[in-house]
Structure 1
Amino acid sequence: MPATSTNFVTEYWTDAFQRWVLTLDVLRQRGNTYFERRGEIAPHVLAFDAKLVLDGRKFERPVNYVLAHIPPADGVTLDPTKRPFVIVDPRAGHGPGIGGMKQDSEIGVARAAGHPCYFVGFLPEPMPGQTIEDVCCAEARFLEEVARRHPEAEGKPAIIGNCQAGWQMMITAALHPELCGPIVLAGSPLSYWVGVRGKNPMRYLGGVLGGTWLTALSGDIGKGKFDGANLVANFESMNPANTLWEKPYGVYSKVDTEASRFLDFETWWGSPVLLNAEEMQWIADNLFVGNKLATGHLHTADGTRVDLRNIKSPIIVFSSWGDNITPPQQALGWILDLYGHENEIVETGQTIVYTTHQTIGHLGIFVSGKVAVREHAEFAGCMDMIDLMPPGLYEAVITEVTEDTENAALIDGRYLFRLEPRTLDAIRALGRNDAADERRFETAARVSEINLGLYRAVAQPAVRTMVGDEAASAARELHPNRLRFAMFSDRNPLMEPIKKMAEDVRKDRAPVSPNNPLLALESVTSHWISAWLDSFRLARDSMTEAAFVTVYGSPLLQAAVGLGAGASDPHPNIERDLAREAATAHSRAELETLFEKGGLIEAVVRALVYIRVATGSIDERGFGALQAIRAMRPPTERLHMPDLKKVIREQYLLVRLDEERAVRALPALLQATDEERRAAFDIVRRIAAARGALGEVEAGRLHRVQTLFLGAAPLAEAVA
């Protein structure tokens, strides 16, 4: 009932008081959950049952990581030929489980598609002496175990690495390329220096703070442990409007409906984990400030270089323009660091697929239900198609199926998945550093090394002497990102009456009318506070960028740290890998011998490549037709997916090397009966036409292929 002029004040303040009490009760529940989870051995937020498979704490080089199996849903029979999925959660301050926090999640969509699912998580406390390299070795062992458990699978395990787990799995894949299937990088930074002026201020933070000496100090204050709450605080500081006002006000203003969602999220967000100080120092020195992964200057303890070009499985990059932690430039800039031309991607044998969401934020990439049922579901459903793609750079385009979509029966679900070939100019168009900016970051990295050395020589011995176990524990307990949870729990005597008050309020809840003028004033005030805090953020970020650009752009400072005069190459040359170059040259020479070798399968694939190379675009309808044709063959006569992948790549490279020679050589592959040749051409026609009517160029190429397969018979007669 609408409020009158005589009671709207009373109505508003009654509702405001009740919302205040209920909000305090929500915070009380959050604090109690914080302490409950601290008492658990392996706290997580998975919405699925998980059965331990391997415990990294028992390895020769122990780590706090575990491999768990996610059983299939009740009544679901898994296809043993489907590749398993391994979802790896980020250890970036928070606890594990975000990749399976909901039914509509990365785990959920892979599980629903009938794939065996595994989860790589971690425990709150690191093992003594554990390093990032140890973790990568453990993850390689996890992948070996997953592959061993699924010998009939027609593909290596597909990996989804969220945020920090993405770069970690890329290191693992570069060192153990034989273990990995397609790798999905969800919001994963690989190029830490790249960005756009006026945006992406987080990349300046290391330089503005003087380098990574503060990381070393934090580890010493923690007695050899780095508190993940520091990383959480760093993330939150990027958006003070959301952290300081919008999130708490969102609970207060919608406490009747928002409490459950808020508590679910805070269960994950409010459980900081620990890292060994050595682990965090390695990350800060080599990645955040040093940027050594994308540029090929990262080495293992035994001197092995981590070269991302060694990865032979498809790499799928999922980023978003709404992500202020890992913007598209940092998710994709490594491609420009490694390659000077898209042809080099092909020569290396890599398949790189990327897509950019327009609005979703960093965390939404992992936990948004809309993203799960669209992007992640499409990637999961089309993973075999991606795995079969010829090497090169592609953009994934996902569109909704409409009534006008041709051959919709070949599409699985509501969306059409299409891969469009791209050049490196598409990545450059996202934004990149110029030579002067690259030089500034290089200067910041050298200043960081100097400051870290000074800290270790001058201050570190004293700090380590003064800090004991009790002081380190107290420092963690008093961290604001932990204290804010504890102070509202039942352990605080002042919160004792809140539970009873909340129960009474719920019995007599009197929500304010939507048209109450004071409620409108509250909303306006909230928007004003958010706008003010956002203005503060913009001013702070502008000053941060200006300070970085000015200080590290100084020719005097650049000379002082050993950078000579002149502009730096914005993409320094990657250290040569002679073994890989020799292997590439050998493969190229071997291709020359394969133009006239093969049979009907090679002829069909070469013909399809020739027809489609004119446009380059490939969507799931062609793959669906291929799968349907393949399913018609008895299992014993089907070409296994790894063998088919080899044939497709080989024939693509032959057509690319010399298109005309490859086409003229088709008759040499067609040493078969007329009936077999007719059947082979029918497969070519059906797959080529799966997307609908062919364009003029493609139709002309199909007619030429028909002539080579069947002679000069009219097309209608040939396919009758």
Structure 2
Amino acid sequence: MSMDSANNAELLPRPNWADLASYWVDAWERSLLFADVLRQRGNQYHEHMAMQAPHVLSFGTELVADGRNLPRPVNYGLVRIKPPSGTEIDLKKRPFVVVDPRAGHGPGIGGFKADSEIGVALKAGHPCYFVGFLPDPMPGQTVEDVMKAEAAFVAKVIELHPEADGKPVVIGNCQAGWQIMMAAATRPELFGPIILAGSPLSYWAGVHGRNPMRYTGGILGGSWLTALTGDLGNGIFDGAWLVRNFESLNPANTYWTKQYNLYSKIDTEAPRYLGFEKWWGGHVLLNAEEMQYIVDNLFVGNKLSTGKLLTSDGDQIDLRKIRSPIIVFCSKGDDITPPQQALGWITDLYRDVDDIRAHGQTIIYAVHESIGHLGIFVSGSVAKKEHDEFASNIDFIDVLPPGLYEAVLTPHDQADGDQSGLIEGKYLLRFVARSLDDIRLIVAEDPADERRFAAVDRVSRINLDLYRTFMQPGVQSVVDESVAERMRRLHPERLKFELFSDRNPWLRPLEKAADQVRQDRHQVSPDNPFLQAERAASAQIETTLKTMGWLRDHLVELTFLNLYGSPLLQALVGLSSSDVPPRQRPAEASDHRAFVAQRLAELRGRIAEGGVVEAAVRSLIYIRLPGAVADERGFNLLRRMRAERGGDMSLTEFKTLLRDQYLMLLIEPESALATLPRLLGKASDKEAEAVIADIRRMVEATGPLEEEGQRRLMVIEQIFAKLHQPVAVQKAAAAEAHVTPLAETETTEVEVPRLRRSS
């Protein structure tokens, strides 16, 4: 016997018959209880699907608007969330609207737990609404119909909260994220801040070796299979196929880990397992036309992030038209929506941050290191802090100046500066200004991949035309509703519920036997050597399945890259070999260029207008501009200033004031500083001293200033100190700022604001 064999032999359980007997009894009992939990899962499935409006929300609801009553009926509805006992709601706070994804599963994941997105919003005192859907689509329902319905629901929420300080916050989970973005692009006046949780918007994006799901369309030859599936469903696409796709991503978890986790912890794990399976198995249906639109235009065509989608009226769906802050929450641990797909639309649409500013947009992103796709919505312990901080500081987010920011959370006890009542949660929320180069580092754009996916799009259109011409008529002639319904019932994702439920007569004795086991349970000792051997075997099986999954994904990727990277194939489908990228950034509309020119002229004409509040805000922005960081403590002090000095100024007016003062400093820094004495002209010495004291307090509360910030504070103090001296002295004080003139624009016909790092 070799030395290795001897060592391995020592690791095996010794032949102790008492240990073996104890383990055998425990294993048999666990097997019986495991089978009974599967039986309960099947019964739960049938009970759940028999409901008129099945969902997994853990909150009470009240129907507010039924999408079936709209001019273009849809199977969506708007409900008001009833706050739990003891939860106080402030009707003056802006409402939250959580929209769940319709991607094969039923609604409710956004309110699945008490600490999920809905629970966090209620905890922060906001009225909360939920947009869910029924299992069956309305006849003729389209993606555009759903988009219009969601806009109508947001309008209804606005109508119900006339006293709310701000427009509704809308949270779009996964599929619902891109749907909400489309709605906001067509009805931008309705939406407040938009939070995208794990939402894909740039479908070709990803990195080699880590995002195999994006290759699926190419490996299957495009969207013809989607059309076939819809025809086999008699015009209905079965959402169980989407669930099957998700299951295939992680074969180790699907075929072993999830089940073994239940089996090994059968005495405690059943409630959690059944709760999740209630949502995971709640399959819903889509119209075939809806699914075809999604696959052709988004998954394969990738048209949303380049402004190529049109409504039925011919209007362009351009995400640059959105005027609300957009918060993107994604994770490196998300294998369904990786950060590249969640953030790639930003580099698709914009040249640089000045381009974002010129469109008046505020984009914020946060990249989590580990949380999985579903954890983003459920808001488990690893993601709860992000949801808490976004909900608590949503007004802060809404008044941020246009630009691109990364959300950074710092534990409360590690924050610098004055913290007395200025940090609302357990973390300090800061927004750090970023450039598009920071996004490009994440997205990792690859021109060669762009050409490959463009080839997939063209191959898909060819194959779809071939299917519709030669196969579709025959398939449709033999499939009626009875055939389609029979096929849905025999789907593997449904069949497992049929086989393990009380509908199976062979399982009827199982419940009684399992109850007897629970009454007289014989659990094995944790240090039993046979139990340890079982766990070692389980780990080996899991590793093997993971390796097989990795090999499969690696083979799929190699096949995709070589097939669609072939110059011959690309030439055959009409992709030229020129340097022109296959996917162009959307052109700038002439009406937008005219709007920017008009807006800049308006801001320049109003630089000398305003009073004490405008002067204070402008001074603070000027001091803090070099740091390129926005801090919730500074906002909370600004909010106090608004309450003390702003009179009846609404949040919307306050937001406009902040943005205007910020842009004035960007486009005309010298004039913006030189006109400060005019804004303060009617203020007395006492009022001026109070304002400069407020400014110092805000600056000190948000941590130490950099050298340039300290110099700017001294300049502002000099301007305030010489306020009532002769005009010449005031101008001299303002001139001491030595502001660097802004650079001229480079490529656009209309001047847009530009900010140098040194300014």
* Superposed pair shares fold, TM > 0.5: yes
1:404 CA drift (Å): 6.2
Partner Cα distance (1:693, 1:615) in 2: 10
1:699 and 2:725 matched: no
SS at match of 1:297: coil
Are the counterparts in 1 of residues 60 and 83 from structure 2 also a CA contact under 8 Å?
no
SS at match of 2:129: strand
Partner of 2:190: 179
Partner of 1:506: 518
Partner of 1:718: none
Are the counterparts in 2 of residues 603 and 666 from structure 1 also a CA contact under 8 Å?
yes
Partner Cα distance (1:559, 1:311) in 2: 37
1:538 and 2:550 matched: yes
Partner Cα distance (2:383, 2:306) in 1: 32
Partner of 2:655: 645
1:459 to 458, 471, 482: 471
1:445 to 457, 462, 466: 457
SS at match of 2:578: coil
Aligned residues: 710
Q: What runs of 5+ residues in structure 1 fail to find an aligned partner?
A: 714-720
Summarize the Cα distance change of 1:184–1:513 in structure 2 as closer, same or farther, 3 Å threshold: same
What CA deviation, in whole Å up to 9, does each residue of 1:248-298 have, x standing for no partner? 111001111111000000000011000000000000000000000011111
Summarize the Cα distance change of 1:404–1:178 in structure 2 as closer, same or farther, 3 Å threshold: closer
Summarize the Cα distance change of 1:570–1:342 in structure 2 as closer, same or farther, 3 Å threshold: farther
What CA deviation, in whole Å up to 9, does each residue of 1:515-534 have, x standing for no partner? 11111111111111111111
**Partner AA of 1:580 in structure 2:** H
1:551 CA drift (Å): 1.1
1:568 CA drift (Å): 4.2
Where do 1:13-92 residues align within 5 Å? Answer: 13-92=24-103
Partner of 1:601: 613
**Partner AA of 1:107 in structure 2:** I
What CA deviation, in whole Å up to 9, does each residue of 1:229-260 have, x standing for no partner? 00000011000000010001110011111110
Are the counterparts in 2 of residues 105 and 366 from structure 1 also a CA contact under 8 Å?
yes
1:387 to 398, 402, 407: 398
SS at match of 1:257: coil
TM-score, normalised to structure 1, is 0.96
Partner of 2:428: 416
1:343 CA drift (Å): 1.1
Are the counterparts in 2 of residues 378 and 415 from structure 1 also a CA contact under 8 Å?
yes
Are the counterparts in 2 of residues 439 and 568 from structure 1 also a CA contact under 8 Å?
no
1:495 and 2:507 matched: yes
Partner of 2:142: 131
Are the counterparts in 2 of residues 322 and 359 from structure 1 also a CA contact under 8 Å?
yes
1:692 CA drift (Å): 3.0
Are the counterparts in 1 of residues 418 and 700 from structure 2 also a CA contact under 8 Å?
no
SS at match of 1:369: coil
Where do 1:484-633 residues align within 5 Å? Answer: 484-569=496-581, 572-632=584-644
Where do 1:139-178 residues align within 5 Å? Answer: 139-178=150-189
1:371 CA drift (Å): 4.4
1:571 CA drift (Å): 5.5
**Partner AA of 2:439 in structure 1:** I
1:402 CA drift (Å): 1.3
Partner Cα distance (1:244, 1:691) in 2: 51
Are the counterparts in 2 of residues 3 and 11 from structure 1 also a CA contact under 8 Å?
no
SS at match of 2:509: helix
**Partner AA of 2:556 in structure 1:** T
Partner of 1:269: 280
Summarize the Cα distance change of 1:217–1:620 in structure 2 as closer, same or farther, 3 Å threshold: same
1:658 CA drift (Å): 2.8
Partner Cα distance (2:678, 2:415) in 1: 41
- Of 621-630 and 343-352, deviating more is 621-630
Partner of 2:261: 250
1:570 CA drift (Å): 6.7
- Of 704-713 and 239-248, deviating more is 704-713
- Of 659-668 and 321-330, deviating more is 659-668
Partner Cα distance (1:108, 1:271) in 2: 22
Q: What runs of 5+ residues in structure 2 fail to find an aligned partner?
A: 1-12, 725-759
**Partner AA of 1:490 in structure 2:** D
2:239 to 225, 228, 252: 228
TM-score, normalised to structure 2, is 0.92
What CA deviation, in whole Å up to 9, does each residue of 1:570-624 have, x standing for no partner? 7522133222221112112222212222211211111111011010111211112
Are the counterparts in 2 of residues 3 and 513 from structure 1 also a CA contact under 8 Å?
no
Partner Cα distance (1:478, 1:568) in 2: 48
Partner Cα distance (1:372, 1:631) in 2: 33
Are the counterparts in 2 of residues 106 and 372 from structure 1 also a CA contact under 8 Å?
no
1:631 CA drift (Å): 4.0
Partner Cα distance (1:550, 1:38) in 2: 44
Partner Cα distance (2:641, 2:493) in 1: 57
Partner Cα distance (2:554, 2:85) in 1: 54
Partner Cα distance (1:190, 1:458) in 2: 33
Are the counterparts in 1 of residues 89 and 122 from structure 2 also a CA contact under 8 Å?
no
Partner Cα distance (2:494, 2:332) in 1: 31
- Of 411-420 and 85-94, deviating more is 411-420
1:357 and 2:368 matched: yes
Partner Cα distance (1:115, 1:181) in 2: 14
Are the counterparts in 2 of residues 436 and 567 from structure 1 also a CA contact under 8 Å?
no
Partner Cα distance (1:664, 1:570) in 2: 49
Partner of 2:665: 655
Partner Cα distance (2:383, 2:112) in 1: 11
Are the counterparts in 1 of residues 147 and 180 from structure 2 also a CA contact under 8 Å?
yes
2:250 to 225, 232, 239: 239
Partner Cα distance (2:559, 2:275) in 1: 39
Are the counterparts in 1 of residues 627 and 706 from structure 2 also a CA contact under 8 Å?
no
Summarize the Cα distance change of 1:630–1:647 in structure 2 as closer, same or farther, 3 Å threshold: closer
Partner of 2:751: none
Are the counterparts in 2 of residues 233 and 481 from structure 1 also a CA contact under 8 Å?
yes
- Of 397-406 and 51-60, deviating more is 397-406
Are the counterparts in 2 of residues 321 and 360 from structure 1 also a CA contact under 8 Å?
yes
Partner Cα distance (1:431, 1:388) in 2: 27
Between the two proteins, what is the percent identity of the paired residues?
A: 55
SS at match of 1:546: helix
Partner of 1:308: 319
What CA deviation, in whole Å up to 9, does each residue of 1:691-715 have, x standing for no partner? 13333322221121111123289xx
Are the counterparts in 2 of residues 315 and 352 from structure 1 also a CA contact under 8 Å?
yes
1:96 and 2:102 matched: no
What CA deviation, in whole Å up to 9, does each residue of 1:307-361 have, x standing for no partner? 0000010000000000000000000000000011111111111000000110000
Are the counterparts in 2 of residues 109 and 372 from structure 1 also a CA contact under 8 Å?
no
1:675 CA drift (Å): 2.2
Partner Cα distance (2:616, 2:632) in 1: 18
SS at match of 1:353: strand
- Of 5-14 and 459-468, deviating more is 5-14
2:292 to 267, 270, 281: 281
Over aligned residue pairs, what C-alpha RMSD do you find? 1.6
SS at match of 1:363: helix
